[in-house]
Amino acid sequence: MPVTTIAGRDIHVDDEGFLTVYDEWDPDLAKRLAAQIGIDLTDAHFKALTFLRDDYATQGETATLRRVSTLGGIPTRQLFALFPKKPAKKMAYIAGLPKPHGCV
């Protein structure tokens, strides 16, 4: 399992850079991960990230975009505005979760 260093911390990641250890994530790390892909996090971003992490803890897999929109109450259009181009993949990356099934 590859390890990378972010902000002086060793973080376990997969070959694509997605975190592999759920408990290594925290909001500060999220800000740093987001900055790496050009996103400046706001409260609206954290609403989506919090839903994703809570849902992952109960479901055992990363939620799809449809699930975030339907159960998280965040319109798909807003998710695309917050996480441009590939929202599901970007949300999972910043939330410290595995890439959702079906994402390339």
pLDDT at 35: 95
Give CA–CA dist 58/103, Å, rounded. 21
Cα–Cα distance for residue pair 47/29, rounded to 1 Å: 16
Q: What is the pLDDT of residue 81?
A: 97
Residues 8 and 4: their CA atoms lie apart, in Å, by: 10
Query: What are the angstrom distances between the C-alpha of 42 and each of 1, 11, 83?
Result: 31, 23, 11
* Confidence at residue 104, expressed as pLDDT on a 0 to 100 scale: 54
Residue 19: C-alpha distances to residues 5, 61, 80, 92, 104 (Å) = 12, 13, 22, 9, 16
| Catalytic member of 71, 96, 103, 104 | 103
Cα–Cα distance for residue pair 17/78, rounded to 1 Å: 25
Find the helix or strand (DSSP H, E) in which 5 lies. Answer: strand 3-6
65 in active site: no
* Tens place of pLDDT per residue across the chain (104 aa): 688 888 888 899 998 889 999 999 999 999 999 999 999 999 999 999 999 999 999 999 999 999 999 999 999 999 999 999 999 999 999 999 998 866 65
Query: In 3-state terms, what secondary structure has residue 85?
Result: coil
Which sequence spans correspond to the domains of the chain? Answer: 3-95
> Residues with Cβ < 8 Å from 34, sequence gap 6 or more?
40, 41, 45, 94
